[in-house]
Amino acid sequence: MRFYRRTRRLVDISLSIIGLVVTLPMTLIVAIAIKLESKGPIFYFQERVGLHGKTFKIIKFRSMRTDAESKGAVWALENDPRVTSTGRLIRKLRIDEIPQFINILAGEMSMIGPRPERPEFVCQLEQKIPFYSERHLVKPGLTGWAQVCYPYGASFEDAKEKHQYDLYYIKNQSPLLDTIILFDTFRVVLFGRLSR
């Protein structure tokens, strides 16, 4: 298991560096598009819960209006009116997640693992979903078994269903399963499935 963890970290560092370099031209185009469409920052920083319950700031391209959460945190909606036109496209193609390669380099995330959730929602979900805190036994991931098997979570029921996939991954981590998830992630991104 120690060898597996060390190997994963090396793979995380290698893939995130490659990812940042390869997507640099796209990053510049997206940054310009975000600035041209609406006032506000290019990047969006949001607190998430990671390994052992420790919080960190996740980095994403801003895909919503700057006043999207003026009334507090809410689940993302299908055809969410808070999402900008550019945001809708980059979400569909999962481009908004590219900056998280920086979180991976910093050791806050891994390429594969349960998606990190917001503290506000974690408190609620831990009270309603058995063993929900088990997901914090591993680093959160840029992608994961739940992400390639189930649509973007937008409700308590979605979170409950996706948690079953996360538990399966935590109990069955292996180089083979990680490889399957990576290939499935490429398929999901290329065909634009499971996004919202």
Query: Using a CB cutoff of 8 Å and minimum separation of 24, what contacts does 38-43 make?
Result: 38/65, 38/66, 38/84, 39/66, 40/65, 40/66, 41/66, 43/99
Count of the separate structural domains present in the chain: 1
The pLDDT confidence band at residue 72, using thresholds 50, 70 and 90, is low
Amino acid at 129: I
> How many other CB atoms sit within 10 Å of the CB of residue 2?
6
Q: What is the pLDDT of residues 109-161, one digit of tens each?
A: 999 999 999 998 999 999 999 999 999 999 999 999 998 988 766 678 888 89
Q: What is the pLDDT of residues 30-59, one digit of tens each?
A: 999 999 998 889 999 999 999 999 999 999
pLDDT of residue 83: 86
DSSP class of residue 96 equals G
Range of the structural domain that residue 80 is part of: 2-191
Residue 179 C-alpha from the chain's centroid = 18
Residue 58 belongs to a domain: yes
Residue 196 belongs to a domain: no
Mean pLDDT of all residues belonging to the chain: 88
3-state SS, residue 20? helix
